[in-house]
Structure formats: C-alpha cells, structure tokens
C-alpha cells in the first residue's frame, strides 16, 4: 500500500487540534503529563519540530540542525495557538509533497527523506497532543490510520500483535503493553530503508 505522507501530516494536524480544542477553556499552564513542559510549551515544541522538519528537507544539511526556530505565541488564545499547529502541519505537508525522492537531510536519529520527516511530524503532533489531552482530561487517542504508517516507518523493531495507536504509544514510552514494560530512553530510527 502506498502511503500519501503529505495527506497524513495534514490529517494528523487536523485530528490532534480538533481534540485539543475541546480543552481550550482549561488551564494550559499545567505540566503536560510527565513532560518537562506545560501544555502551552508542548504546543510550541510541536511547532518547533514540525516546522523544523520542513526546514531540514528544504536546506538538506548533512551534519546539523538548521537555524530556523518557530514557536507558538505564548500570549495567543488557545484556538489561535492550535491554528499554529495546523499551519505547521501544512508547511511540512507541502514540503514533503515537493521534495524529490532522493532528497536527504540530517537528523540525530538518522538521515532521512520526505516520508521519514513526515512520519516524525505526525509522531510529534499525535503523541504530544495526547500528552496535552491527558492533562486536560480529554479522552483522545490518535487514530490507528495515523499511527500505523509512523510505527512502520520509524520503529522497525516495534512489537506486533497490538493496535497501531497503542504500539506507537508504547514505542514512545507513554504506556506499557501486556508483557512489555513501559519504555525508557526510547528513540526512533529515521534512516531510509
């Protein structure tokens, strides 16, 4: 099956922000689950990563991050901040769509291509949106359709026999699975395979 990575990125941005809009009126200064950031700072982390992945695909460095940083205005109302995530998703989606198949760029977890950076962006959006949702008491788990391609692309040694969302959450150290303790010190493999 061929994966339409640009559409997957856009869908991840739409799904995750739609879930988080349910908590727009809550206190976003609370720490997002076990992260070092509060919910607002976690949104900025998502934007930084997603826009940064687009920038890496454009600049194609071989040995470093790019110097472009983006963030969400810490004073913006939550709905506007969530719009920033949808914008970041669209930027990455368009960049992935425009990147030639042979494009490669540096990442500390492995030099990657358009699909690899798309998978990283989807991971950032859905996993951290779930972190925020849990903090705000929103019952939301990312869709299996978003998670399955990410697991396949970034976690070649992922366990089998579980649903895609729970597998991604296990791979990223969010949950334990039957017979598998919660991971500590995890990382993905962005190399092109």
Structure confidence at residue 170 as a pLDDT band (50, 70, 90): very high
Residue pLDDT, tens place only, 83-105: 999 999 999 999 999 999 999 99
Q: Residue 167's pLDDT band (boundaries 50, 70, 90)?
A: very high
Cα-Cα-Cα-Cα dihedral sign, residues 7, 13, 19, 24? negative
Set out the domains of the chain in order of their start, with CATH numbers.
Answer: 5-171 (1.20.120.450)
The pLDDT assigned to 104 comes to: 98
Could you give the CA distance from residue 113 to residue 111 in angstroms, rounded to a whole number? 7
pTM: 0.97
């Amino acid at each position: 099956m061929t994966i339409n990575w640009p559409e997957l990125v856009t869908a991840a941005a739409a799904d995750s922000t739609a879930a988080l809009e349910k908590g727009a009126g809550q206190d976003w200064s609370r720490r997002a689950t076990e992260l070092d950031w509060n919910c607002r700072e976690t949104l900025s982390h998502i934007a930084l990563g997603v826009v940064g992945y687009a920038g890496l695909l454009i600049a194609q460095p071989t040995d470093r991050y790019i110097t472009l940083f983006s963030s969400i205005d810490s004073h913006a109302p939550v709905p506007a901040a969530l719009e920033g995530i949808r914008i970041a998703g669209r930027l990455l989606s368009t960049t992935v769509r425009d990147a030639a198949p042979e494009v490669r760029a540096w990442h500390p977890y492995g030099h990657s291509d358009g699909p690899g950076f798309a998978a990283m962006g989807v991971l950032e959006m859905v996993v951290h949106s779930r972190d925020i949702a849990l903090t705000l008491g929103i019952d939301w788990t990312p869709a299996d359709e978003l998670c399955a391609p990410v697991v396949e692309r970034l976690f070649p040694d992922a366990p089998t026999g579980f649903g895609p969302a729970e597998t991604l959450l296990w791979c990223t150290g969010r949950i334990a699975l039957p017979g598998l303790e919660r991971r500590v010190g995890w990382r993905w493999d962005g190399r092109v395979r």
